[in-house]
Structures are given as C-alpha cells and as structure tokens.
Chains A and B, each alone.
Chain A
Amino acid sequence: MEQNQPLNFFNRGPSPAVRLVFFTLFSLLLLFVDVRYRYLESIRSGLSVLVYPLQRLVTAPSKLWHEVDDFFSSHNSLIRDNAELHHQHTLDVAQLLQLEALKAENQHLRNLLMVQQRADYPMQLAEIMYVERDIFNRKILLDKGAQAKVLAGQVVMDDSGIVGQVTRVYPWMSEVTLITDKDHAVPVQVLRNGLRAVVFGSGDTGQLALRYMPISSDIQNGDVLVTSGIDGTYPVGLPVAKVIHVERDPAYPFARILCTPIAGVDKRRQLLILSGLLKLPERPEVIEGIATDKPKNSRRGAR
C-alpha cells in the first residue's frame, strides 16, 4: 500500500485513513440499522449488562449522599412529616371509601351501557438511577428491568401525574422517555370540558406544548389536561399537564399553548411503573363512543 516509503520495518496494519473510512461506514450502518430496525436491541441489552455495574458504581456517591442526608434528617421534620402523612391518610381513606362506592356504581353503569371495562393497574415502585446525561434526550433510567417484568410501553408516573413511558428494557434497568422529550406525545383531554388534544414535549424540562389547536378552541390558563386513553397506552384520567400560557395570534392557524407537567418530572427519586398494558380491540369501530381522529401512533416502542 505504501510503496513509496523507504522502509517499512513495523507492520502497523492499515493506515489511519483506511481505518477511519471503515469505522465511519460501520458506525453509519449501525446508526441506520438502529434507527430503522430493532435488531440491535439484544446487543444493546447485552452490553448494558456489562455497563450496569459501572453505572451503579458511579451513582454510588450521590446515592450515599442522599442516604446520609436521609439519615441526618432531623427528629422534628420526621415528626412533622409523620403528622402530615397521618392527616393526609385520614383524608385519603375517607375519599377512598367514596371511591369504592363510585367504582361499583361506575361499573354498574358501564355494565348497563355495555362499555368496555376500565382496568385496574398494578404498580411497582422503581427508583431513578440516572437522570438524562445526554443533553438532547429527556430520558431517565430506572432500576427495574426485564427481571422485574417491566415491558416497553408501560407508563411511568409519580404520585401526582404522568412522568413518561418505558421505551427500552434492559435486564436490570429500564429506560424511560419523559413526556418532556421532544419526540414524545401524549393524547390528552381537557378536564374542564373534555376537549381532546395531543400534548408534545418541547425538549425543555418543565415545558410541554399543545400543538394543532385551532385559535377558537376553548382552552384557558390553568386548565388541567388528563390522559384521554384513546391510544390504548395511557390509562384514562391521569393528570398530565396544566396550561400556563395561551397565545391566540390570528396570523397563525393554531393557537400557541404552553403547559407545564403536573408530575415532578425532574424532581422525584421514586417513580411508579404501571404494569399491565391495556389491550384495545384492533378495529376502531368497536369503540363507538370515541372518535378515531387522533393519531394513534404516539406510543413509541424501542427507539
């Protein structure tokens, strides 16, 4: 290859340029395959097993810090928290009693109406291992994976609302795309008037955008958006976001509506994974009450 060089005592293999071309092409091929197909998921999860202990190792200091912090939380604050929780618990129990009655009533009415039953979702608690390290993605890694029967597509929430969706499952970890991710969309309904919409992430923590809403649409500041359940991924009625800014400029066909997520998308350390995916019938004709004008592809599998 390098004939014009005087002497080549040491064979160092192909030249850097050749290697660069090879690895560039290989990387591009991998990128293409990763974007288009899902063949690489098994390799990825295999490598993640290799990487997992290191990740645990790296998060250990911050975890230790949290634990030490917890340990030294003062007696007073514990007593206060306990009292508060007791208070809340009493209130909740009262409401729960009502809920049971309402549930039974609802079931009865639904039976009468012959509408599909709403399912109860078992949940499991998972702890955040990692908040996103990649500035482009709004993703977190949880410490429950395929070993704990987590599936891609399951919904992740905290005590106040939706946080995101499991998009990739490793043996001991799962990757959650937050609702604030740029690629993420959640079908929602305005709680006040039942208006259906889709809320998109903006790639910015703490901000969501309600796109493609006509200027005349009835949305006000402070409206609460809950999941509509139309896509079959998100259960019905979970709080997602609150409208904080509505801008109606007649020059544009759509209103500019900004929302803020209700759940502490970037605040909590423990999150709930809703196990059990809702199985919707394949054909849309079966559900008569719900129109099918919403895009149903907001569910993102392994991407």
Chain B
Amino acid sequence: MSDRILNDQEFQLPVSRIFIAASLFVALLLDWLPWQGIWLALRPDFVALVLLYWCTHKPYHVGINIAWTVGILADVADASLFGQHALAYSILAFSGIVLHRRILMFNLSQQTLQIFPLLLLAYAVYAAVHWQLRGNISWEYFIGSVVSALLWAPITILLQTLRRPRAASDQL
C-alpha cells in the first residue's frame, strides 16, 4: 500500500464510483458510435483505454470483474461472440493491475510505450479468438491498437483533470 501512495503522491486524486461508472459508460457510447469505412479501421478502443486507465490508477476499485462485465455488454452491442470482448478486456485489466506500479513510474509519453504492448495483447486475444472460431483474420484491425495507444496521453490528462476537485482550481 505505502509504495503505491508514494508513486501516486502527486496525484492522489479523489475518485467516486459514480465517476468511474460514468467514464466507462461514456467510453462504451464512444465505441458504439456508428463508425464506418476507414474510420472503423482507425477506431480506437475507448473502453479498453478507460479500463486500462482505471486499472493502473485505481487497481483496487476497478478490477477484472468490471472489465469482464463491460466486455459482455460490448459483445452484445457489437454482435460479436459472447465472451470475445470479455476475454480480451479481462486479460487487459489483469495486465494493467499487475503492471500498474511500473507503468505509473514513467511520464506520459513513456507510459504510451508501456501500455502499447498491453493493448496489442488485448487486440491479439480478440483477433485470435475470431481466427480460431471463424478462420479469418483482418490485419487492419490492429491499426486500432496503435491509435488507442496514441490516445493514452490525452485520455489520461482528461480523466486526471476531471478527477481534480473543483476547490483545487484556485491554488494555481
């Protein structure tokens, strides 16, 4: 516990469960926007990013159970196989929780490089399940993991800003 506090010291920000739920909810809605054509290939996985954010920053609040539940909802909406997203998100959440101390040691640009393999792993799990069960794979799917990794810094900054209490704003 104590070393986590040391690592997080500069942003020991309060967090409410409602805020976590709302952020995941918004991320799901963003994923469900009617993406088409080239944008579909470039679509970042907002849910994966937000899940990873919470799993690294608040590993005791958001765990694998929440990742799995969100994954099932994504499966229903995407008409993909039951458990496909859920499996990928569970593995992503696990890797985020296991590596959260290591990831938070770095600054944002270095974090991007650190989380890219994790996102790639989640994408690979999803694609591998599809490949095993349906026998085809489309490589442009992995472009999404790159775009997601690039969005890590903006999303982290955004969520940090939103988590900062209003009263703290006059200290600047």
Contact = CB atoms under 8 A, between A and B. Distances in A.
B41 A135 contact: yes
Contacts of A17: 94
Contacts of B87: 23-24, 27-28, 31
B72 A47 contact: yes
Given A130-B34, A135-B140, A35 B81 contact: yes
B107 interface: no
Contacts of B33: 58
Given A27-B71, A30-B82, 11 more contacts: A24-B91, A26-B68, A30-B83, A31-B129, A48-B76, A50-B76, A54-B29, A54-B32, A133-B78, A136-B136, A139-B79
Question: Which of A19, A29, A44, A54 gathers the greatest number of chain B CB atoms within 10 Å?
Answer: A19
A168 interface: yes
B34 A44 contact: no
Contacts, number: 120
A133 B35 contact: yes
B130 interface: yes
Contacts of A33: 82
Q: Which secondary structure dominates chain A's binding surface?
A: helix
A136 B127 CA distance: 9
A12 B63 CA distance: 11
Interface of A: 12, 16-17, 19-20, 23-24, 26-31, 33-35, 40, 43-44, 47-48, 50-51, 54-55, 57-59, 62, 130-137, 139, 141, 168, 175, 182-183, 203
Contacts of B72: 47
B36 interface: yes
Contacts of B118: none
Contacts of A35: 81, 133
